[in-house]
Structure 1
């Protein structure tokens, strides 16, 4: 139980918290301490949507009560006299008076809101003028300045269900609104309001006044009412709303506010104004989310508003509506860059090709310039060589590829400039589109530009260890040979840069053959027959086999392989400390994890590390997000040879003897032999669950065995991907949802539903690329409902994955599945 009173430091500010055990939501037993914890947990996601806005608070000192006995609340516009002196504030001129509003600029202000039971935070669609600094009494003398408001930086539609309708009816209307907003170039994000309906947010660039935005929203609402008179109403009269969804367009008035995304609501249950994905709105059992569910979503990396227009006090350019004017020189540079991509955009239809087709280009970056060489199987095979220059990739098509012998030269044909996003593009350009064919990355990395003249470019490429350039730095010259500037020659220069000793060192190969990892089955406590079980922590990471082997007389090398055979040796360089902790000839099994600020495994952070391929990016990430290797088994030593036939308990004894823990490598203790105790410890540590292992079981390489059983706190399922449905809007180039199957008791695949949430942008791109390679014309199973199969693209059921879900429906479909990872 939380202490009744304590003084804490949040974001450098001291705050006295009282009555922490006071129950604010009786129906769920949620206390003030939990409310404050919630505000701190969601701060990173919430603050970008409330910063610099006038925050009106709706307070329930004794909580909102129950459905049968609701309690009264009161609104606060003016800042309370009792507010801490460090709360930033600004004045706002109204017709006959000035109100002083608090500004939610950091976690400390959110904590104070929780302390005074300000459960609902309401903000307008505009922000205060960025040129006026927030006033903080303890740092300044006088009164808060009166600040002007800027034009709105977002449009909001409030979809309110009338009598006889519910949130699923709002979802249908939301899709209709989305179509109109998409057509006007305003992609939108839905937010279940935490009360009854749905809010839609669309980012604006600050070019229009509140009155103009209100007129646009009003016209949209009237248009939908005309198209769907039985389902939609745009009138304010409550008597006209029965059986219909009211589109409240008035939220865009400069004098109106909307409950902020991620704000709690003063309802009997601790519901939240929760950002959702469009796929979630298709769920027939769509409902509001509680604060616990929202915290879990954020922990899983689910934040549909993450890329929405943002504002920070350090960088006004993060929010278009409050962006500082560029200098004339910067404006001219931006215009030049956009002009450079005009030809590129004119040659591509973004609706028909998976290539990136940005509407505008970014300004030149401050980071080291990059290069990419792409193997392009079009009408004729050629190698597209692209160098970063002034915010774009200047490109040449080299029919035979860049020469690798000194003095050799080859034809290079200059093509249109490409956007920087193209550096990561791999995939299939449709046959009838420009450049139709397969594109793959031959090599990529950073480029040193030594000379860039109109007719000559000299540069050094630093590629990948396993790239087409052979892992060596290569100096090239490009020389123009015609007056039009189209035909060039590329030559590998005789004077080549020297490699460092580190670059020249070649890691020796992994021991061959390296065993495949033994796999566990998903189970429940009832599956644990007998008492011959030992319990280990279930880590949320990458399953990695490691080997330490002789790399020379004075050194040892470490090799890392995933369960699918992918080499992670260079991706996680900090794990090279294994060479100092483990004797030569040792093969280990374990899980690589990344820890968040609470020192808990964070799979989202790990994915960010695991996808990096460029040396410089890996080095920076290793310093910022170091990984840890949790070793739980040993498969081979030079002294013992193969250990897989030994019982689990004997292998653990040898593991303890042969492997020392280090800074990034640990050998965690098991959690004992009592399931209840193990589950309690796992839950306290906020881990996925536990692994139950038979004490006398042998290690079965490559086999999935019920000698190892995964027991998780949440429902998880191992699934097989059988197809995908086309995405819309921001997902038009990837997919909207995946169609899933599971194996029944007979080993046959049966339909399990679809998953459309939990994907990061990187997940979407990676999965689409993998799916493209295994497409087929017919469904691999025959029990997919017509509704789900109507627009499906089928794939051969080769890709296995893990999803989290809320149980099974009556027709044995996964309820509310959320993407976890590929297996």
Structure 2
């Protein structure tokens, strides 16, 4: 499966994890993904200790086996971020919740309960053997024998009075086990020991005031009929189950936020995961104020004064981004050094490299991590005045984008793509940053050998050797394509009488059918290619004019100026070619990143082109110098494509995948690719028509849907899109309700959808819309979008949909019933 662009294995989805309710591993996955935003908000940046039930929680008579997993196990995906903690046996790496894919991986590993401390690690900070200062205080109200949840509610109300007297504002959660958790936000000025002492003092005070109901001592003999007010979890070395975490009880309960009105009313019960999801949809995150996004620029801002330095000093905390920009700045301060900065989550993570980046793999250089910098610093050049922090002259030595392979707390591996006239010389620069001393924030900077994806594919047996022709050479595999391509036949000449330079081509893309590997009977008749997860385009190059045309004829040229600029150098003749525009990250296409580019034009598109450039992947040649090739065989058209196109960083040819289909599918799944295309060697190009000669073999189910409306979110999502209303065309031509999708969005996505979807005044004709949806929906003009899903029910509803993005390159007519 693929979550947020991360490929991971998810096995035994129908395994029953909670026998009492029949809740399966698939249901657990659905819950953590739908609740991922709030789980990450309250557990992000904190080392996660997991309680794992690999075979389920079992029954009351036969409980399932459970064990604690603290450190990151061997074999964990490289993209799981970590923090380092000191143990008596040395430093240990703990996983951190940084993205939904980490939650999916933990669900795969049977981790039901997620426990975290009351502090979080920011900006790579270390405090010796001491943990960072806590940003929240917690009290665990645990009923002893003879006490119940109503007793805990009464104690919670007493605690609230005392905490509010000292300026703290507690927030209640039913723990998902037996009691209640109370959290209060701290300002980061006290240590864990001081927070523990405050909590202990409060517990003893309340015990003295209400000895009949409260006990602060852990001894079990003292807890009969009373509520233990457990203050000890504020210790820097202890953890509490995270808000919104599942619990490993007989039923799938959750550590669930509640309102004080519910606590005051009494009669509380522990909530199960489906109830929590419904409440999230209705109310939003009730404890959003507990863990606002951390201000990663607080340290940077505290070291500078905006009116005394020309450096950018933003007043507001940075907004999260998924960009991949870098800058290297030559800094003539008290000593000359180079500042190396990589964009991550809205800031530039920074290192001072005294001798500059190593020029060969034989060199290693020292890098000292400094404070995170704002993204605006990526374009800063100037003189920092004397007396100010970092006084001296700053010049940009090189800048561009990077492809990320790994980012962990102690290791970063990526490839830089700088400017042609930059300090790196315009060549890819692959490097590793390896932390060597956490306390001193020292890292080793090492240059690595550049990767050659085509060479790696050849070594693994699913791409042709260099000695073999690109699509017609010899191949040792008896199941591969024929050794020689048929002799070229001249195609029909296109009509040149029309004003060809003034009007776009009348050709339209040939379409493929969805299929299964088992339907490929004789592999020798087929050519296999990567299915690129991007936007399909026809490239129309005529004289000095280049157009990128979508499936429905829309001109996308303005959104991708870097591609338009690169085409003439790569394609020197007038031609019409078929391909896809993609955003490549670590060799795979990132569809979410492509969405950010689709609606841009002008200066915005130009800026985005520099920060996150797109790549054009070409796989077919339809016309060259007025000669139509659509009646030629596929392998003949592709042979001519190879001879015509000069590949560059922005223009590539989709290479054939050689070897057995089973191995090709395994290899592309391992690389996180969407799937493969199977095309008959002798297939002719059928413009605008869907043909069984081309088949899509996908690794995960995705579906194009019709967006017909949206429901407003609640709580923190008030005023923006909470979920989208989906429909699908039926066999009778009418639209039928296909459910709602409320996951897979960033906050920016929700606002953009609200603004881009055009409202309509009348209710659309859609069968099967539930009455509660019809009452609340904001109806819009139909737009094509794409979702991932696990299955489609008999009624046509999509199960567990996850939003992927709008498809402006497609029209309603492209959707099949």
Q: TM class, shorter-chain normalised?
A: 0.3 to 0.5
Relative contact order (alpha carbons < 8 A, sep ≥ 6): 1 or 2 greater? 2
Using structure 1 for the length normalisation, give the TM-score: 0.47
**TM-score, scaled to structure 2:** 0.47
